[in-house]
Amino acid sequence: MPLNEFSLIERFFANHSQRNDLVLGIGDDAAIVEVPKDHQLVISSDTLVEGVHFLPNIPPRALGHKALAVNLSDLAAMGAEPRWATLSISLPSLDEQWLAEFSAGLFELAEFFNVALIGGDTTRGPLSITITIHGVIPKDKALLRSSAMPGDWLYVTGSIGGSNLALQSLLDEDFAHEYQQHFNKDQQQAHLDKHYFPQPRVLAGYGLRGVANAVIDISDGLYGDLRHILKASDCDAKLWLEKLPVVEGLEQFLGREQALKMALCGGEDYELCFTVPEANKGSLDIALSYSGVNHQCVGQLSRGDGQIELLEHGQAKAIELPISWDHFTTSA
């Protein structure tokens, strides 16, 4: 029997992860969940559109993972615990093999973070995925962009630049040829995994509660995302370029300035950028020790209006940086 909308949902998306706080899941007009006492609900939503957010030939398992990961990254930046998600997907046709792989990637990550899929919608149309993630956080403990203070130290988790490096190798054959000559197979796979299977820093978000002042996830590039913190908090920042955790080998491949441009503006790293006051700096290592992610101090904040000063070993460094991605001002 050919698949219809309801059999599609039943076969690929219903009856997967369950939670004790899920009162009513997929199968009715709406889901019902229990929010724990003295907690607040945290909600984020992202839409991924073919040709805008992902290439047409992306492996469906990677797309399932990434669609959920970008939402989990938003909750990580708030310090929230992810619990439930809804999925709305527009499909040009019903491809059972594609759906099986897509749902496998989605649920593999959902089960790792104990996230239950509780509803959504399916429709026919250009390939587009919208996930809304719901989480909880103890009351008034959320990490905000607007809470940075002058004097805070600026940090970044993990490494930056690897995702965009992989993307450029997928987009440009000449770039890909040189890239493959410079990086070994393991490095190439690590970059591709960073792009296709980003790892949201949820555990790091937990550790930063009560330690960090302000947090944002790095989706559009460190330079642009940092400015969101600075503008919301009325701060400026000195960014120490020699301290940036640029992905290994990038500078040797592209040269110093081009490597910095990719690391600062490439985007889709899904690491965390955060600020920590002097009083909490000594406890940061312990706070993040169980998250399994490295962190690097890359600058310091001062009072201001959202400006970033680039410094190299204490000296001002002039680099012409591209603007951050904006769907309505940036050409694809």
Predicted confidence (pLDDT) at residue 124 exceeds the cutoff of 70: yes
How does residue 134 score in pLDDT terms, banded at 50, 70 and 90? very high
Check the annotation: does 217 bind a ligand. yes
Residues 167 and 242 in one domain: yes
| Judgement on whether residues 158 and 11 belong to the same structural domain of the protein | no
Any domain includes 323: no
pLDDT at 187: 97
* 289 annotated as belonging to a binding site for a ligand: no
CATH of the domain at 254: 3.90.650.10
Residue 332 has pLDDT above 80, yes or no: no
With respect to residue 322, please indicate whether it lies within any of the assigned structural domains. no
Last residue of a domain, one of 118, 138, 158: 138
Mind listing the pLDDT tens digit for each residue in 62-102? 999 999 999 999 999 999 999 999 999 999 988 889 999 99
Q: Are residues 114 and 165 in the same domain?
A: no
Average of per-residue pLDDT across 116-135: 91
Ligand-binding annotation for 95, yes or no, is no
Closest CA to 9 of 113, 94, 136: 94
Res. 330 pLDDT band, cuts 50 70 90: very low
Average pLDDT (137-143) is 95
Q: Do residues 113 and 233 share a domain?
A: no
Query: What pLDDT is recorded for position 38?
Result: 94
- Rounded mean pLDDT, 252-278: 94
**Residue 167 and residue 271 in one domain:** yes
**Domain for residue 92, yes or no?**
yes
The answer to whether 101 is a known ligand-binding residue is: no
Span 164-171, mean pLDDT? 94
305 is in an annotated binding site: no
User: Are residues 151 and 105 part of one domain?
Assistant: no
- Give this prediction's pTM: 0.91
* 84 annotated as a binding-site residue: no
Is the predicted pLDDT of residue 309 greater than 60, yes or no?
yes
292 in a known ligand binding site: no
User: Is residue 324 domain-resident?
Assistant: no
Residue 204, in any domain of the structure = yes
d(CA 127, CA 92): 6
**159 and 230 together in one domain:** yes
Q: Is residue 277 part of a domain?
A: yes
Q: Which of 112, 138, 164 is the last residue of a domain?
A: 138
Q: Assess whether 127 and 156 both reside in one domain.
A: no
Q: Does the annotation place 28 within a ligand binding site?
A: no
Position 327 in a domain: no
Q: Is residue 161 over pLDDT 50? A: yes
**Residue 163 assigned ligand-binding role:** no
Asked if residues 301 and 195 have their Cβ atoms less than 8 Å apart, the reply is no
Of 30-44, 274-288, 316-330, the poorest mean pLDDT is in 316-330
Q: Write the CATH number for 106.
A: 3.30.1330.10
pLDDT score recorded for residue 251: 94
Domain count across the chain? 2
Same domain flag for 229 and 131: no
Residues 134 and 149 both lie in one domain: no
Q: Is residue 121 part of an annotated ligand binding site?
A: yes
Is residue 45 part of an annotated ligand binding site?
A: yes
Q: Domain for residue 321, yes or no?
A: no
pLDDT at 320: 81
Q: Is 147 annotated as contributing to ligand binding?
A: no
Pick the closest to residue 240 from 264, 210, 214 (CA basis): 264
**Spatial distance between the Cα atoms of 287 and 270, rounded to a whole number of angstroms:** 20
Q: Are residues 122 and 177 in the same domain?
A: no
* Domain boundary, last residue among 138, 170, 192: 138
**Owning domain of residue 309:** 145-316
- Which H, E and C letters describe the chain, residue by residue? CCCCHHHHHHHHCCCCCCCCCEEECECECCCEECCCCCEEEEEEEEEEEECCCECCCCCHHHHHHHHHHHHHHHHHHHCCEEEEEEEEEEECCCCHHHHHHHHHHHHHHHHHCCCEEEEEEEEECCCEEEEEEEEEEECCCCCEHHHCCCCCEEEEECCECHHHHHHHHHHCHHHHHHHHHHCCHHHHHHHHHHHHCCCCCHHHHHHHCCCCCEEEECCCCHHHHHHHHHHHHCEEEEEEHHHCCECCCHHHHHCHHHHHHHHHHCCCCCCEEEEECHHHHHHHHHHHHHHCCCEEEEEEEEECCCCEEEEECCEECCCCCCCCCCCCCCCC
**Residues 177 and 231 grouped into a single domain:** yes
Does the pLDDT of residue 231 top 90, yes or no? yes
pLDDT band (50, 70, 90) for residue 4: low
